[in-house]
Amino acid sequence: MYAIFFFFFFNILIKIIFLNFSLRPRFVFLCVGDLQIIFNRKPEININQIKDLIKSYRKTLKDYNIIYLELTKNRIPYIL
């Protein structure tokens, strides 16, 4: 119980410090890939953890109104 509270509180503290007291980017490239390929390279990380982490990044970027472009192995946009 205490460990869950500690990590939850620690994550909130990190968000407050880094997102509120540091400069925010105007644009971010969010690099995502196939979950199975990432899991094969990093088997110590669960596939559900990888999926949740990517969702968390998307949510944080949307919450703070940061424009982002997702780059994947299969779909890399052409930018001049």
pLDDT at 8: 57
In a domain, 42, yes or no: yes
In a domain, 61, yes or no: yes
Residue range of the domain that includes 44 = 25-80
Question: What pTM does this model have?
Answer: 0.64
In a domain, 72, yes or no: yes
Phi, psi of 36, rounded to the nearest 5 degrees: -65, -40
Q: Is a pLDDT exceeding 80 seen at residue 65?
A: yes
In a domain, 57, yes or no: yes
pLDDT at 32: 87
In a domain, 1, yes or no: no
Q: Which of 5-9, 18-22, 29-33 has the weakest average pLDDT? A: 5-9
- The domain tally of the chain equals 1
Structure tokens, 2? 């205490």
Q: Is a pLDDT exceeding 80 seen at residue 35?
A: yes
